[in-house]
Amino acid sequence: MGLRAVFLDRDKTILMPKGREKYIYRAEDFHIPDNFIEALRRLIDQDYLLFVITNQGRIAKGYLTEKDVEELHNSLDSILKDNGVYISEYEYCPHNPRGSLYPYNIICECRKPKTGMIDSIRNSYEIEVSNSWMIGDSYKDILAGNKAGLRTIQVLTGAESYTHDADFVEADLVKAVNRILTEK
């Protein structure tokens, strides 16, 4: 039997933009509500592995670099570890076919709603998809989770509209974790 996992979108799922910022570029652009951290810890306590998978197509548009993304992930990881939350792996897709920066302006297999990031992690960790979840705020997150065979929860913290493709729709990460822990 494989391992159970929760795949998490990053922006507006775990990380909330500060102020009126629409995008999160650097550590000073986000905050993590304390109850989100506690919810993630509850998943770990129930033996779920946590993975962050995020589209970062703004790299292809020249707004940030891979180094910027890695620094933000290091900052996030430090905050989470200080609070007893361990992310097993961070994956990001730097591609965007509408970008102008080569070699990132391509069609790839990792950009959600495709499943490349999930597939890579699933194969490396022997994840049992039937007992695993995808949580995200966008329809791309939900479609990727569905295509990969995961159960899906859309959170409304960043959603401009909700998708009918999600197994569940919840207000935020805390409610999504509650759903996972009652559905298992």
Could you give the number of structural domains in the chain? 1
| CATH code for the domain in which residue 56 is found | 3.40.50.1000
**Quick one: average pLDDT of 122-127?**
94
Report the alpha-carbon distance of residue 108 to residue 86 in Å, rounded.
28
136-160 residue pLDDT tens: 999 999 999 999 999 999 999 976 6
11-57 residue pLDDT tens: 999 999 987 777 888 888 899 999 999 999 999 999 999 999 999 99
- Residue 1, class by beta-carbon neighbours within 10 Å (0-12 exposed, 13-18 middle, 19+ buried)? exposed
Note down the domain range covering 81.
Answer: 5-183
The strand pairing partners of 155, in sequence order, are 170
* DSSP letter (8 states) at residue 168: E
Instruction: Kindly give the pairing relationship between strand 16-17 and strand 30-31.
Output: antiparallel
pTM of the full structure: 0.96
Catalytic residues: 9, 11
